[in-house]
Amino acid sequence: MSAHSITEPSVRQKWFAGALVAAYALITLLPLLWIIATGFKSSSDAIAYPPKILFEPTLEGYVNLFTAQTRQSPEYLAQNPPATWYEAIVHDKGMVIAGPSRYGERFMNSVIIGFGATFLSVVLGTLAAYAFSRYRIPLKDDLLFFILSTRMMPPIAVAIPIFLMFRNLGLSDTHAGMILLYTAVNLSLAVWLLKGFIDEIPREYEEAALIDGYTRFQAFMKVVLPQAATGIAATAIFCLIFSWNEYAFAVLLTSGTAQTAPPFIPTIIGVGGQDWPAVAAGATIFLVPVMVFTILLRKHLLRGITFGAVRK
Amino acid sequence: MSHLNMDSVARATPRHLSRRIRGLSDRAIAWVFVAPTIFLLLAVNIFPLIWTIRLSFTNYAANRPNAEVQWIGLRNYERILSDPDTWATMQATAHFLFWTIVFQVMIGFALAWLINQKFRGNDLWTTIIVLPMMLSPAVVGNFWTLLYQPQLGLFNSIVGFFSGADPTSFSMIGDVHLAPWSIVIVDTWMWTPFVMLICLAGLRSIPDSIYEAAECDRASRWRQFWTITVPMVLPFLMLAVLFRGIENFKMFDLVVQLTGGGPGNITTLTSIELKREAFEKWRTGYSSAYAVILFVTVFGLASIYVKALNRVKDR
Amino acid sequence: MKTRLFAATALASLSAMAATGAKADELTLCWAAWDPANALIELSKDFEAQSGVKMNFEFVPWPNFADRMLNELNSGGQLCDLMIGDSQWIGLGAEAGHYIKLNDFFDANSISMDDFIPATVTGYSEWPKGTPNYWALPAFGDVVGWTYRRDWFERPELQAEFREKYGRDLGVPATLAELKDIAEFFQGRDIDGTTVYGAAIYTERGSEGITMGVTNALYNYGFQYGNPANPYDLEGFVNSAGAVEGLEFYKALYDCCTPPGSSNWYMSENIDAYRSGQVAMQMNFAFIWPGVHADATVGGDRSGYFPNPAGPAGHFAQLGGQGISVVAYSDNQDDALEYIKWFAQPGIQARWWELGGYSALRAVVEDPGFAASQPYAQTFLDSMAIVKDFWAEPSYASLLLPMQERVHNYVIAGQGTAQEALDGLVKDWVEVFEDEGKL
C-alpha cells in the first residue's frame, strides 16, 4: 500500500485517530493499572483515604495470597524469628504462616479446566464447522440456530439439572465434568466463528487435493486445517477467555476439588476485612496466562473473527 | 487429533479397515464430524432443559429430596407472571441490556474506525484496549466496588477532579438513580473491546477497490462512509450485538459482585433473582418455571433477530 | 466349614480395615474463610500430633458460605466430615438429617452442655430450641457489638464541644439514641485534615448483612419474631409499633451518620472503613476485635469496644457464631467425633481463646483472669449475655431473603415506609410458613 493511495488516510487524520485511540486506551487501562498497583500496596495503603497514587511497594499482597496465616502472641513471635523474607513480612504484622493458601490449587484447576475445555471446544468446533460448511446437512439452519440457542440459557437455569445429573454420573466437583460443561457452552461460539471462517476457504483447494488422490479426511487434515489456522486461533482465544473466567457454574457446581480461581479471588479475606492487595495480586497473576495466550495469537485475532458475516 | 496420529492409527489397522475410515463417504464424515458436538449439546444443554421444563410444573425442592413431589400444573407460572417483582427485574435487565449495547456499539465502532486509519502503533493500542475483556467478570465486579467507593475509590476521585464536584458527594452503587448506571459503566468498560474487534474485522474485510471505485465516482468521504462502510460492517456489528445481547441477558457474576442486586431491587437482574429462588430458597420447581420463561423470552427475541441478521447478510 | 467362615470374616474385616485405614487418617473440616479459621488451623496441629489424623480444611468466604455449604449438605456431599455451620442452619441440619445427633456421644464422653455459655447452647446446639436435643458443640461464640475510636472520643476539645451540645460526656453510649447522637456529632467532622463519618453499619444486600445489622435496632425497639405463645403468629409482633420505630431508627442512622457509599457493606467493608480512619464507630461481629486490637493504625489504646446499646423496649444484640457438627454423610464419623472430644477439652479451649477464637466454654470465660486478658474480653461477655438470634427454622434461607429485600428496599433505596416494609415482611413470612405447612 503506497502512501499516495487514495484510500490511505492523510497524515493529519492518522495523527488525530492515533491520539484519540491512545487516549481511550489510557483511560481504559487505568482501572487495570489500579488493580496491578494495588497488588503491591500494603493493606493500609490499599484503602488509604484519599486514594494513594504514590506508595511504597511491598510484596505483602502476594505473600498473603499464597499463605494462610495465624495471629500469635508476642512471646511466641519473639521466640520464633522469621527465617525468610516472606516470613518476615507476615511476622511484622504479628502473625505466622500456618500453611499454603488454596490459591495455588485453584489456579491449577483453572489451568486444567480452562485449557482443557478450550482444546476440546476447538477440536469439536472445527469438525462440526467443517461439516456445516461443506455438506448438505438436513435442517442445517435450524441445527445452527439450535447450537446457538444453547448459549442462551442462563447458567443458573441449567445449573440445577446439571447439578443433579453430575451427581448421578459421579461428575460433580470433577475436572472432567467442568471441562465437558465449559466445552458445551463454548461450542456454540466455536462453531459459529469457525463456520464463517471455513466458508471463506475456497473449495477448489480441497477438490484439487481430492483429484490428487487424497481422501476427504486427508484433504480436511492437510488442506483445510492449515488454511483455517487463523480462525482456529481466534476461536481458541475466545473460548479460553470464557472458560478461564467463568464464575456462575464454578461457584454452584464445584467445591473442594475442582473449583477454579474466579470464585476464589473476590473472597480473599485478610485480617478481618477484604485483603485488597491479595485480591489484586490474585487478579494480576490470573490475568497473565490468558493475556500471554492472546498476545501470542493476536495476529490471528482480527482476521479470525468473521462469523460468516461476509458471504461470497 | 493431529493428522500424524491419525496416520499411525490408520497404519496400525488392517488395510481394508483403514481404507474404510479414510474413505468414509461424505455423508458419513459429515455426521461423524457433527455428532460429538450435537451429542454434547444434547447432554449438557437440551437434556437439562427438558428436565427443567418438567420440574417447572411441580413443587419440587432440591433440598428436600424426601418430600413428596406434586404436580401443580401452571401454578408456578401464574405466580411468577403475576408477581410485580418479576416485572421489576425484567425492567432492570432491559435497562442494562439496552444501554450496554448502545454504548458498546457506539464506542466500539468508533474505536474500530479510528484504528482502521492505520496509524503507527495501532497494533499495540489495540492489544491494550482488549485487555479488560480478559479479566474475570467476578473479579472485576468485586474490584470495582473499591473503585466506586466515594472516599477510597479512583472512579469518584477522577470524576470529582474533572467535574469539580466533591468525590464523596455521590455514590455510584448506593444511589437508587446511579446504581443502574454503575453496572452499565463497568460492563461497557469491559466489553467494548469485543464489539470493537468484530467491527475492526468487518472494516478490514472491505476491499480497497470499492473505495477506489467510489473515489472515481467523486463520492464524498461522508457519502462513502454511509454507503459503503456502514452497510458492509453492519452484519458484523449485528453479530456483535447478538452475542453481547445474549451474554448480558444472562448477566450474573459481575453485577452480583458489584451491587448484590441492590439498592433494594434496583439492580436485581433476572439471573440474580433466579439464583436466589433456585439456590437460596431452593424452590426448584418455581425457579425452573422462571428459567423456562427467561429461555422462551431470549429464544424468541434471538430468533427474530437472527432472521433480521440473515436478511441483512443476504442483501 | 468353620475355617472357611473364619477366613471369610477375616478377609472381610481385613478389607474393611483397609478401607477405613485408607481414608480414616484424614478429616475435612468446613467453615467460613475468615480470621478465626486460620487460628483453628494452628490449634488443630495439636490434634493432628495426638491422633495421627491429618486435618484438611475447606474454608468458604462469608458471602458464599451459606450457599456453598448448604448446597453441599443438601446434595448429601461427602466433602465435609466436620461442619462449623452457621447458627441458623441448625434446624435444617437436624430436620433434614444433615447432622448427627450428639446426645449419646456427649453422655458417653461426659461432655456436658451445662459447661458452655447458655446462650451458645441454645443458639448453636439445640433443635428444637429449648429442648435438650444437641446437634452441635458450641465452637465459636460471636455477637454483634461496636468498636469505637477511643483516641477521638478522648480528645479534650471534642469532649468539651460534645458536652456543650448534648449536655453529657462523650463516651460509650448507653442507648441507641445516644449512639446516634455521637454518630451525628462525628459525621462530616474534620479530624487531622480528613473528613470523617459517624458509624459504619451493616447494609449488605446479597447475603445476610442488613438483616444482621437491622435486628440490633429492631429487637431493642420491641420487634419480636412472633407471639411468645405461638411462634408462628407474626402479625402485631414482627410489625408492631415498636418494630416500625426500630426500623425507622436504623434508616435514620443510615441517612444521617454513615459514610457515603456504604450502601452494600458487611463485615469486611466496615473493617476497611474503620481501619482507614473514615468512621468513629463501626458495628461488627466480635470476631474482628483481636484484629482491630493488633492493627498498626487503629489498634491498641486507640480503639475501644462496647456492646450493642439498649433501646426503649429492651436490650439485645444479634447473635453470630457457630457450633461444630458431624456431617451425617461422612464416612469418618468416629474420627470426627474424636475431634470434637479433643476440641471440648478445657485446655484446648483456653488455647483457642489465646489464638483469637472465642471459646464458649464457661471454664474459659468465667476464669477470673478472662475479663482482663484482652481489652475486648469484658465486652464480649456482656454482649453474649444479651443475644438473640434470627430464625433457625429449616426454611431459614427462605425467611432471610424477603427480610433482606424488604429492609434494604426501605432503608437503603428509600422506597415505601417502615410500616409497609414490615407488613410486607409478615406477608412473605406467612407465605413461607404456609408452604412449610406450619400455618
**Contact: B49, A181; criterion CB under 8 Å:** no
In the numeric block, the cell 449536655 is attached to C167
Percent share of chain A, pLDDT over 70: 93
In the numeric block, the cell 492437510 is attached to A222
Which residues of chain B does C413 touch, with a Cβ-Cβ cutoff of 8 Å?
176, 262-266
What are the tens digits of pLDDT across the range B229-287?
898 889 889 988 988 999 999 999 999 999 988 898 899 999 999 998 888 888 889 99
Residue B14 has pLDDT above 60, yes or no: no
Q: How far is A72 from chain C (nearest CA, A)?
A: 6
Exposed / middle / buried, residue B279 (Cβ in 10 Å: 0-12, 13-18, 19+): buried
| pLDDT value at residue C196 | 94
Touching subunits of C (3+ CB pairs, under 8 Å) are A, B
- On average, the pLDDT of chain A sits at 85
Q: Residue A20 corresponds to which amino acid?
A: L
What are the tens digits of pLDDT across the range C218-273?
999 999 999 989 889 999 999 999 999 999 999 999 999 999 989 999 988 899 88
Q: Which of residues 150-169 of B touch C (CB under 8 A)?
A: 150-153, 156, 168-169
Residue C5 has pLDDT above 70, yes or no: no
Residue C275 has pLDDT above 70, yes or no: yes
In the numeric block, the cell 471446544 is attached to A121
**Contact: A98, C291; criterion CB under 8 Å:** no
Q: What is the pLDDT averaged over residues B108-134?
A: 90
What are the tens digits of pLDDT across the range A24-63?
999 999 999 999 999 999 888 888 877 888 889 999 999 9
Dist. CA C25–CA B141, nearest whole Å: 40
- On average, the pLDDT of chain C sits at 90
Q: Could you tell me which chain A residue has the CA closest to the CA of C37?
A: A70
For residue A296, give the C-alpha cell: 501470542
Q: How many interface pairs between A and B have CB atoms less than 8 angstroms apart?
A: 322
Residue C435 has pLDDT above 80, yes or no: yes
For residue B31, give the C-alpha cell: 455426521
Q: Quick check: C67 contacting B, CB < 8 Å?
A: yes
| pLDDT value at residue A173 | 83
Domain B83-313: give its CATH architecture.
Orthogonal Bundle (1.10)
Interface pTM, i.e. ipTM? 0.88
Write the CB contacts of A234 (distance below 8 Å, at least 6 apart in sequence): A193, A197, A297, A300, A301, A302, A303, A304, A305
C79 against A301, higher pLDDT: C79
Q: What is the pLDDT averaged over residues C76-103?
A: 91
DSSP C134: B
| pLDDT value at residue C7 | 44
- The closest CB to that of B197, out of A154, A162, A302, belongs to A302
Dist. CA B151–CA A48, nearest whole Å: 9
For residue C371, give the C-alpha cell: 475479663
| pLDDT value at residue B24 | 62
What are the tens digits of pLDDT across the range B133-164?
999 999 999 999 989 988 888 999 999 989 88
Residue B189 has pLDDT above 70, yes or no: yes
Residue A7 has pLDDT above 70, yes or no: no
What are the tens digits of pLDDT across the range A89-98?
888 877 888 7
Dist. CA C342–CA C339, nearest whole Å: 5
Q: Best of B64, B135, B188, B225 to disrupt the A interface by mutation (most A CBs within 10 Å)?
A: B135
Q: Which of residues 216-275 of C touch B (CB under 8 A)?
A: 259-264, 272
**Contact: A147, B21; criterion CB under 8 Å:** no
Q: Closest Cα partner for A271 from C305, C66, C275, C151? A: C275
| pLDDT value at residue C171 | 94
B62 against C193, higher pLDDT: C193
Q: Could you tell me which chain A residue has the CA closest to the CA of C288?
A: A272
Residue B10 has pLDDT above 50, yes or no: no
Which residues of chain A does B238 touch, with a Cβ-Cβ cutoff of 8 Å?
309
Q: How far is C432 from chain B (nearest CA, A)?
A: 10
Q: Quick check: B95 contacting A, CB < 8 Å?
A: no
Dist. CA A57–CA A41, nearest whole Å: 5
Element (DSSP H or E) covering residue B10: helix B3-12
Q: Work out the pLDDT band at B8, boundaries 50, 70, 90.
A: very low
- The closest CB to that of B122, out of A21, A146, A158, belongs to A21
Partners of C116 in beta bridges: C361
| pLDDT value at residue A150 | 79
What are the tens digits of pLDDT across the range A88-131?
888 887 788 878 888 999 999 999 999 999 999 999 999 999 98
For residue B139, give the C-alpha cell: 473479579
Dist. CA C367–CA C355, nearest whole Å: 17
Domain A104-275+297-305: give its CATH architecture.
Orthogonal Bundle (1.10)
In the numeric block, the cell 491479595 is attached to A278
Q: What is the pLDDT averaged over residues A173-178?
A: 92
Give CA torsion, residues B8, B11, B17, B19, to 10 deg.
90
Residues of chain B within CATH 1.10.3720.10 domain(s) are 83-313
Find the distance separating the first CA and the last CA of chain A, reported in whole Å: 24
> What long-range pairs does C64-68 form, CB within 8 A, spacing at least 24?
C64/A251, C64/A263, C64/A267, C65/C32, C65/C33, C66/B280, C66/C207, C66/C208, C66/C397, C67/A251, C67/A252, C67/B279, C67/B280, C68/A251, C68/A255
Exposed / middle / buried, residue A56 (Cβ in 10 Å: 0-12, 13-18, 19+): exposed
Q: How far is B186 from chain A (nearest CA, A)?
A: 10
Dist. CA C413–CA B91, nearest whole Å: 17
Dist. CA C310–CA C179, nearest whole Å: 10
From B19-33, B87-101, B249-263, C333-347, the region with the lowest mean pLDDT: B19-33
| pLDDT value at residue B188 | 96
CB B35 within 8 A of CB A246: no
